[in-house]
Amino acid sequence: MVDIAVSSCGATSSAIKRSQLRSALIAASAVLCLAGTPMAVGSADPVLTPQSDPFYTPPAGWVSQAPGTILNSRPVEVASMGPQAQDADAWQLLYRTTDVDGNPMATVTTVLRPRNGQVKGLISYQAAEDASAPQCAPSFVLRQGAPVENKYDSSLDLISIEQMLSTGHAISIPDWEGPKGTLIAARQPGYLTLDGVRAAERFEPLGLPGTDTPVAAMGYSGGSLGTSSAAQMQPIYAPELRLTGAVLGGWRTDFGSYLKVLDSGPFSGFMPAILPGMMRADPRLAAVFDKYLTPAGQALMAAGDSKCATPNVGQHPFLRMDDYLTIPFSQLLEEVQPLFADLDFGPVVPTAPMLHYHAVHDEIVDIAVSDQAVAQWCAAGAQITYMRDQLSDHVSLAVTGTPAALRWIDDRMAGQPAPAGCSTSTVPSM
């Protein structure tokens, strides 16, 4: 629905010698390069941010509505990264859902369907927002007319969304972090994702058969958090949904280990992007950080809380949290580790079959953590097909793994059973 033309910035990454730094600088160089490059993003008027857009404010009496109830809707245009307009209709739905404490919450999902043909089913796609700022939510960054600087983070998501549409799926893309950008909160991402599915099934223009709709949940990297939570919560919170499978790529769990990997590395800029949202999700975590952050650390968190992931990563490579704390970062992580137990994949084992895929040489999310989590879920009775990709890194697998993931989803929606039990395979490439 929009044409985007980007002039070349040259072989920015060709001189990069270190493989880990290369991927980080691809994102950073995009910010530096495109900031001064003319880019056509369609003729739509600039859109309001979620903070100032009245669409995000629920109507009076909304708290008494059932989870998944549509509170408001509007047609939108979703920006494409390709040269041709997307052959899809799109809307946004404001719906009632539930927060981490069990209280009513309202959030938004962007729903799409191909313009031609009957849809196969519904994919709930949890985008890798990886940021705490409200203007980084999918409902804003995917819209035609959103500022270019907000759209860098959505580029990989748009590639996956295009593939889902081309294979005949309707899509729900929820703001699974909620209106306050609470990136990592126990149970809440699952609630918001599943209620987005409920809303989509009730939205007549999508043409879905209600709770008979075959549904799959899918998310890569940061999006795997919302997807894994939805798979866990579905039997308890939304048992009426026909969840045929869940796909997790570059799965993030064990957040203490994840933050250790980020610290002082090429992707350390993710920390000021995600930590503010984590602190909003858990006041106990916020109290620990507030106790030990220096004034410079407080300023770092405040600045990171106002930007999306790509600017944060581009501005803060090799950031050392020790420089912003009154105690070593390793000591702080030991203190908050008990709080992370409720945020990790947890004791609830999904009943739907799952596909996991991960780059063996993932430079952002250590595959050893995924190996361990899969082994624990399998030991508890989960049904998982686990693929370890030898040739990809974290960023490239987000693109190259999608076709195989969609074939797996198509098989589940067509009624073909997933392989029984658990299996692990290490392949050259998916």
- Active site positions, annotated: 221, 362, 394
How far apart CA 97 and CA 103 sit, in angstroms, is: 8
Kindly state the helix (H) or strand (E) to which residue 109 belongs, with its residue range.
strand 104-114
Q: Is 90 strand, coil or helix?
A: strand
Angle, CA of 259, 265 and 270, to the nearest 5°: 50
The two three-digit tokens of residue 355, written as one number: 């596909």
For residue 348, what is the DSSP state?
P
For residue 283, which amino acid is it?
Answer: P
**Residue whose entry in the numeric block shows the structure tokens 């994840």:** 258
DSSP strand pairing (88-98 vs 70-75): antiparallel
Radius of gyration of the chain (CA): 20
Angle, CA of 165, 166 and 168, to the nearest 5°: 65
For residue 180, what is the DSSP state?
T
**Residue whose entry in the numeric block shows the structure tokens 């539930």:** 98
Residue 306 burial (CB count, 10 A): 16
Which residue from 95, 49, 52 is spatially nearest to 73, judged by alpha carbons?
Answer: 95
Separation of CA 64 from chain center: 29
The two three-digit tokens of residue 282, written as one number: 């858990």
Paired with 6 in beta bridges are: 39
